[in-house]
Amino acid sequence: MRHIDFRNIYSKNKDIEFKWIGGTFCTTIPSLEQARQLLGTKCEKTRKLKSSVYYNSKEMFVRQKLRIGAHDRGEEFVWADGTLCDKDKRVQDFHLPAHLKVMQYEKYIIRKDEIFDVTSKHDFWEGVHFREELYVYIHIKKLYVEKGAILSVRGNVLTLVCDEVILIDSENEDNHKFDFQIKILGTDYFGYGKARSKEEEMNGLNGKDGCVIEEEDLQSYEYINTLFGRIKVKKKPFIEPDIQDPKYKGQNGENGKNGVNGGMSMLADIRIGKLSNFSIKGFQVFAQASAGKNGGDGGKGGDGVFPGNGGKGGNGGNGGLSSNIFVTSPQKYRKFMNFIGLESIGGKAGKGGESGKKSIEIQKIVQKSLDGANGKDGRNRQAPPIYFFPFTKI
């Protein structure tokens, strides 16, 4: 990936703005003030309207009390009309400089059923942690799309500017649910939470079996072979095993691991100057954060005179969090647009493990082992809110 120093990517007149360099390259933006000028809209009226709805969703409102709220307020400053405050500075500065992937094209064509993935990756920069928030700025002057084409981004903060999007005929057109789709998805890594287990380690291990007492151990006589043949002799009376003796106990099955939370879908700012040849609701913006992972199953209890209990099932991870999506375009193109935001899905609960089996029934031993309890399903999380702003200046 081509890297260009930040000082060489912008021109400074009254405000700084991107130079037209062309192609794809990576850079870093040192401050939120510079990010505001480069990535946000120039229209102050649109900025104020974005801030007026910024915390309308319950999820966005509630998380202002959490550490992630400092991220939200920083993004409101860059893409809307928020203000910076001293209490957020330490959290925000920790993530600077902002790592930005830039894509500039005079024209670009996305073919029928093609997925044009614009996602930025952490390995584009040396030493960037996989959880670091990444940014994508795309400016395409003329974007040509065939039916069923998709522009997709996963887990990046996106600014997409298209002067014009043109639907072109494709051969042997099939039925499609949309003419063109912008798909905004959650990160492909897990969301924040205590659960950290890998998928192959989710299920609890089965408990080991205890020592076995056979039926003949309970009999008062036994047969032995001698020179005079097989004879029946009395043996020592059977001593019932001590409940505290670990060798007779089957181990409990391990509990299943909790599923990880789904990855977050990030803010997107989409600015469309003109739409050509689209059907009604044919231009689709789709958004959904990643699903939570399923909880692991509990392990089976070990068999024994005193069988082990089954392990508990792990809880499913919660669906991923989501952020605002803004779409700006002249009002006359609104009828050609269709916005679909879906809840992120919680993971399924793991099943409790079966209890172990008694190796033999002894009348005086009444201790019973128990099956493990099932875990709890993860919670679905709120769909990304999508807002439309009818303005000509993008």
pLDDT digits (tens, 9 = 90+) for 77-102: 999 999 999 999 999 998 899 999 99
Whether the per-residue pLDDT at 205 is higher than 90: the answer is no
pLDDT computed for residue 190 by the predictor: 77
Confidence of residue 131 (pLDDT cuts 50, 70, 90): confident
> Is the confidence at residue 193, as pLDDT, over 60?
no
Classify 155 as helix, strand or coil.
Answer: coil
151-190 confidence digits (pLDDT tens): 999 999 999 999 999 999 766 566 788 999 999 999 987 7
How many Å is the Cα radius of gyration of the chain?
31
Give the tokens for residue 376.
């709890």
Q: What's the confidence (pLDDT) of residue 173?
A: 61
pLDDT-derived band at 392 (thresholds 50, 70, 90) equals low
**Mean pLDDT throughout 17-33?**
91
- Calculate mean pLDDT across residues 341-364: 85
Among 30-44, 192-206, 295-309, 342-356, the range scoring the smallest mean pLDDT is 192-206
Average pLDDT over residues 3-27: 83
Kindly provide the residue ranges of all beta strands, DSSP E only, lying in the chain, ordered along the sequence.
10-12, 16-18, 23-29, 98-110, 115-117, 134-146, 149-154, 157-168, 180-185, 221-226, 229-234, 268-272, 275-276, 283-288, 325-329, 337-341, 386-390
Q: Let me know: does 82 contact 76? Beta carbons within 8 Å.
A: yes
Average pLDDT (366-389) is 90
Please give the pLDDT value at position 69: 87
What number is the average pLDDT over the span 20-34? 93
Strand 180-185, strand 115-117: pairing = unpaired
- The three-class DSSP label of residue 39 is helix
Largest CA distance in the chain: 116
The dihedrals phi and psi of 254, each to the nearest 5 degrees, come to -70, 150
pLDDT at 209: 67
Sheet bearing 337-341, strands edge to edge = 115-117, 149-154, 180-185, 283-288, 337-341
Mean pLDDT of 246-262: 86
Mean of pLDDT over the chain: 86
Task: Tell me whether the omega of the peptide bond preceding residue 385 falls within 30 degrees of 0, making it cis.
Answer: no
The token pair at 242 is 């001590």
Measure CA 134 to chain center. Answer: 15
Query: What mean pLDDT comes out for the span 65-86?
Result: 91
**pTM across the whole model:** 0.84
Once rounded to an integer, what is the mean pLDDT over residues 111-123?
94
Of 65 and 247, the structure prediction assigns the larger pLDDT to: 65
CA angle 237-238-242, nearest 5°?
135
Burial of 293 (0-12, 13-18, 19+ CB in 10 A): buried
The average pLDDT across 234-249 equals 64
**What does the block give as tokens for 38?**
């480069």
Digit-coded pLDDT (tens) for 275-323: 999 999 999 999 999 999 999 999 999 888 788 889 999 999 999 999 9
Higher pLDDT, 9 or 213: 9
The reported pLDDT for the residue numbered 223 is 63
217 pLDDT tier (thresholds 50, 70, 90): low
What's the pLDDT score for residue 365?
Answer: 58
pLDDT top residue among 122 and 232: 122
- Which amino acid appears at position 22 of this protein? G
